[in-house]
Amino acid sequence: MENTRTLPDAVSHIEKISPQKMEEKTVFKDFLALIKIGIVNSNFITTFTGIWLALYFTGGGLLENLSTVIFTLIGSSLVIAGSCAINNYYDRDIDHLMERTKDRPTVTGKVTPIHVLYMGIIFTFIGTVFLLFTTITATIIGLVGFVTYVFLYTMWSKRRYTINTVIGSISGAVPPLIGWAAIDSSLHAVAWVLFLIMFIWQPPHFLAIAMKRSEEYRRAGIPMLPVVHGFAVTKRQMVVWVACLLPLPFYLFSLGIPFLILATLLNIGWLVIGMMGFKMQDDIKWAKYMFVYSLNYLTILFVAMVIVTAI
């Protein structure tokens, strides 16, 4: 074949890769790890959904409010990224004890801890300034999320109480409120339903992770629920949290029957998987099912909100 390379050619091609480019890729990868890009991206989606639904219910247009949309998305993302960077800075003394966090730049020494702290503070400050170009309400909610995640969760409850997951869920639930408040400061009832969905979704999602990583959390001295009270108690609480989601779609009846049916089916599906946990012998396998379903649940639900109101 014409495109087949000989071994010397392949080696020559690899040698042509610039060390500088490789270094740039590594630095960028480390940066994404520091700001926890997965969390930033997922919250970007929920923030946009809050914006979109606020525009839908107030009769506003996306293009005519484009500057507000941009300021909100960038501002909220920066505040979240800054919060995550500070979390990485604070947790660097225990992250090496856990498989999923042991390669963070703050653990490996690729970055100086104080630089990570400065980055977190600067990102949060700039993000807050961006939010000030929207509404005071959106700015205050953004700061509530920051304070909850950095101080109430990371610095206070994470290493002390099993309720840390619930406390951390407050910060994870504010992005749709930020998005809505940037358009409509009065915060329609639908905005609070979005907050409740996000708040209730997080405990079963993160407790599934805690079950899979229970031994790592034990080594790190983090009192997650499965570490302190065992899998049986954790499974019961996860099912209770999922059951609490069941009535919420009915408060979103204004989004239409198709959405109501979809959201209800998603809730029932998650509850069925949750109930399976009482019969399955392999708790870790069940936790993986719950974790994967939770990710798909959130994505499908929030994307569906946008689609049904865009048609």
Q: What gap in Å lies between CA 70 and CA 232, rounded to an integer? A: 45
Domain 189-311 coded CATH 1.10.10: no
pLDDT at residue 98, rounded to an integer: 87
Quick: pLDDT tens for 91-150: 999 998 888 888 889 898 889 999 999 999 999 999 999 999 999 999 999 999 999 999
Above pLDDT 70, what percent of the chain?
A: 92
DSSP string, 68-84: HHHHHHHHHHHHHHHHH
195 or 311, greater pLDDT? 195
Q: Element (H or E) spanning 212, and its range? A: helix 189-212
Q: What gap in Å lies between CA 70 and CA 66, rounded to an integer? A: 6
Residue 69 in contact with residue 78, Cβ under 8 Å?
A: no
Please check the confidence at residue 90 and state whether its pLDDT lies above 70. Answer: yes
Angle between helices 225-243 and 189-212 in degrees, nearest 10: 140
Four-residue CA torsion sign, 47, 50, 51, 53: positive
Quick: pLDDT tens for 234-257: 999 999 999 999 999 999 999 999
59 or 20, greater pLDDT? 59
3-class DSSP state of 36: coil
What are φ and ψ of residue 126, in 5° steps?
-65, -40
* Tokens linked to 3: 């495109």
Quick: pLDDT tens for 100-115: 888 889 898 889 999 9
The CATH number given to 23-187 is: 1.10.357.140
Residue 148 in contact with residue 158, Cβ under 8 Å?
A: no
Angle between helices 175-183 and 66-90 in degrees, nearest 10: 150
Give the model's confidence band at 19: pLDDT under 50 very low, under 70 low, under 90 confident, else very high. low
pTM reported for the whole predicted model: 0.90
Rg (CA), the chain: 22
Quick one: 225 exposed, middle or buried, by C-beta within 10 A (0-12, 13-18, 19+)? buried
DSSP class of 153: I
Residue extent(s) of CATH 1.20.120 domains in the chain:
189-311
Tokens 């004890």 correspond to 97
Closest CA to 179 of 256, 75, 249: 75
Please check the confidence at residue 62 and state whether its pLDDT lies above 90. Answer: yes
What's at 278, amino acid-wise?
A: F
Q: What gap in Å lies between CA 100 and CA 209, rounded to an integer? A: 11
* Tokens linked to 302: 């929030």
* Tokens linked to 68: 């507000």
Residues whose CB falls within 8 Å of the CB of residue 185, separated by 6 or more in sequence, listed in order: 135, 136, 137, 138
Above pLDDT 90, what percent of the chain?
A: 84
Closest CA to 226 of 209, 242, 241: 209
Quick: pLDDT tens for 169-210: 999 999 999 999 999 999 999 999 999 999 999 999 999 999
Residue extent(s) of CATH 1.10.357.140 domains in the chain:
23-187
